[in-house]
A and B are shown apart, each in its own frame.
Chain A
Amino acid sequence: MRHILAVMVENNPGVLARVAGLFSRRGFNIDSLAVGRTENPKISRMTIVVEGDQRVLEQVTKQLHKLVDVIKISDVTTEQYVDRELVMIKVNASSSLRGEIIQIADIFRARIVDLGVKSITLECTGNDAKINAFEESLRPYGLKELVRTGKIAMLRGMRYSGVQDSGGRQQEPE
């Protein structure tokens, strides 16, 4: 099963290398990884999508917790959550095909971010299913370039995975 982990880390140099190195040497697979700072500039949030059964997930979580820079880990997938990913796709688009492509963009509520003589660049935000469908719809026109940000996710409602001002961690593995 696929799990989305929200990993709150101290913004120290090398923290990404520590996390990435841990995954590779322990043989855990990362489906995607997105990093950025949070509302607290000292803390970054890594959204890591991992594939694996309960045992693998437990080891991933526990090993991550052993890194001194890791403050908190939440498995977002255990609760109600929203997730998003952004994709930018550059497709071949001669002027005769532009209309069709723009129609597809409308259906997916994608936006045109750049227009060239023979190409058009679109951005689209959504979950996996939507982005995959968008990609497939554009494939027949010839994908020149495609880039995805990796998934980010958040719990719904008043639940949160972030770190409160105390800086303490709310959840410890058993």
Chain B
Amino acid sequence: MKTGAHVLIDCLKAEGVDTIFGYPGGAVLPIYDVLYDADLRHILTRHEQGAAHAADGYARASGRPGVCLATSGPGATNLVTGIANAYMDSVPMIAITGQVATPLLGRDSFQEADITGITMPITKHNYIVKDVSELSRTIHEAFYIATTGRPGPVLIDMPKDVSAGPAECVDPGVVTLPGYHPRLEPDAAQVARAVKAIEEAERPVLYAGGGVVSGSAHAELLALAELLLAPVSTTLMGLGGFPGEHPLAVGMLGMHGSKAANYAICDCDLLIGVGVRFDDRVIGKMDEFAPRATIIHIDIDPAEIGKNVGVDIPVVGDVKTSLGRILAQLKPRLDERWRDTIAAWKKEYPFTFEPNDRIKPQEVIREIYAVTGGNARITTEVGQHQMWAAQYFTYSRPRTFITSGGLGTMGFGLPAAIGVQVACPEETVIDIAGDGSIQMNIQEMQTAVNYNLPVKVAIMNNGYLGMVRQWQELFHNQRYSYTELQNPDFVKLAEAYGATGLRITKKSEIRPALEEALRIQGPVMMDFQIERKENVLPMVPPGEPISKMLG
């Protein structure tokens, strides 16, 4: 007999899913029974949060939707952080949760949680399938919603009687959603206004975000930058969307951005935001952001226009299409003065640190870049190491820097690296981590070992929650309240999981350790014992305009 679970798996395969990340439990028993001999790869993580982040990493690296599966109640609530993370960074993801049987709904049954209610504000849309006849259509709609327009996570809650009950696979047909029409083609009049503003500008700056990466608009962005000789600053999410080694690349902007980028924003007379959302970590003091500039904002989500910063020329549409329309009407500008000013700033204000005889995290990141030749997919956790990974590694291709931007989720990097490695089995995947963050999902080392996914974890171990400690140093009178960490022996821990552990205590050991880690076929955890009180600089203090940088 075919059940709802069969239909679910058949529909997932029909959507092109090859791998799902999940964790079994009571309410998903019928689904796991089908998975037992289904032609679909299932990666068993060691925590549902790991499954959600792995699906997220898989999606960011491949551009295809990631799928995670968990049981009802605690299984579902353990996905919540991962779903919120995917929502904030607009990652296409399908989260499937088991649910108690429909007759038990609303009775506080064992392992019942109202997961559609809980995830309402952190999903693009969600469903509870109470009638198996709706299952095929629901799954098809869910994938359509998750992957079109501004991507995002969609959750499907499956009561146990629906997945266990008899069902037939129905052709889901064509999606008809009267309330959902992502707008891809920009308004011609706004494009014309944008073109005019660009032609009149003397000091244009491109500010590119995650939308360039997810919208595959990197080629168009490069073409526009080179046509205008305009500097390009990327957000944390936009890194890789523009080749970091390009002469027009000025690096990240905002709180820990480069001085060249922040000065360019403050001085420009035209700011072209492409696939960005004017996040508070980027804009600093709101009314002093790009004070001299006309602002063009190109984004697929109309709700982003004017949400945080007033915009002069909104271009609502797919970023790739929109940039294409603008490019088609533009003539080369080739005014070199502005480019030269920027180049001078770049030269005068590179990211710097003061080397000493101890291990500096910035050196480690640079060595990772040197050893890999930049040919690696980097994931990160959240904190100081994340900012150093953004500043000191040069990303030239989209989807090579995978980080938790909007939500800032500690514990993201390792499970995400697992998802990335599954999506890109031939590539080097490195999780740049902190000693605090890595412990939030360290159980996923076992997943990496279990499936022989050779992810390399590089812990910047300073024995502190470094970013919080930095804020305490700068803004809370050095009162290091609960930020000093007593850590386990990471080498022994790696070995306990069946991985390789390497401890690096001297500068001279950095390079050999990295080379060894890359030679080893399986997962490796590297414990870099770095300068303990190194700060991330430059830094814009919270609430200040981004031209006012410390360091």
- The chain A residues found within 8 Å of chain B, CB to CB, are 9-10, 13-14, 17-18, 21-22, 25, 55, 58-59, 62-63, 65-72, 163, 167-169, 172-174
Residues of A within 8 A of B183 (CB): 172
Known: A18-B120, A21-B121, A25-B121. A71 touches B179 (CB 8 A): yes
Residues of B within 8 A of A163 (CB): 178
Residues of B within 8 A of A18 (CB): 120
Residues of A within 8 A of B314 (CB): 174
Q: How far is the CA of A9 from the CA of B177 in the complex (A)?
A: 11
Say which residue of A17, A62, A66, A68 sits within 8 Å of B177 (CB atoms).
A68
Q: In the complex the two chains form, is B306's CB within 8 Å of A10's CB? A: no
Other A-B contacts than A17-B120, A62-B302, A66-B301, 8 sampled, CB-CB below 8 A, are A14-B120, A21-B121, A68-B179, A71-B179, A72-B179, A169-B178, A172-B181, A174-B314
Q: Interface of chain A, helix or strand or loop or mixed?
A: mixed
Residues of A within 8 A of B305 (CB): 62
Q: How far is the CA of A33 from the CA of B179 in the complex (A)?
A: 20
Q: Interface of chain B, helix or strand or loop or mixed?
A: loop
- The chain B residues found within 8 Å of chain A, CB to CB, are 116-117, 120-121, 124-125, 128, 145, 176-181, 183, 187, 301-303, 305-307, 314, 316
Known: A66-B301, A68-B179, A172-B183. A21 touches B120 (CB 8 A): yes
Q: How far is the CA of A59 from the CA of B307 in the complex (A)?
A: 7
User: Chain A residue with minimal CB distance to B121?
Assistant: A25
Q: In the complex the two chains form, is A169's CB within 8 Å of B303's CB? A: no
Residues of A within 8 A of B302 (CB): 62, 65, 172-174
Most chain B CB neighbours (cut-off 10 Å) among A9, A14, A25, A66: A66
User: Chain B residue with minimal CB distance to A12?
Assistant: B127
Q: How far is the CA of A9 from the CA of B301 in the complex (A)?
A: 20
Say which residue of B117, B125, B145, B303 sits within 8 Å of A17 (CB atoms).
B117
14 A-B pairs in the complex with CB atoms less than 8 angstroms apart: A10-B178, A22-B121, A25-B121, A55-B306, A58-B306, A59-B303, A71-B178, A72-B179, A167-B178, A169-B178, A169-B179, A172-B181, A172-B302, A174-B302
Residues of A within 8 A of B177 (CB): 68
Known: A17-B120, A68-B145. A9 touches B306 (CB 8 A): no
Q: How far is the CA of A6 from the CA of B314 in the complex (A)?
A: 25
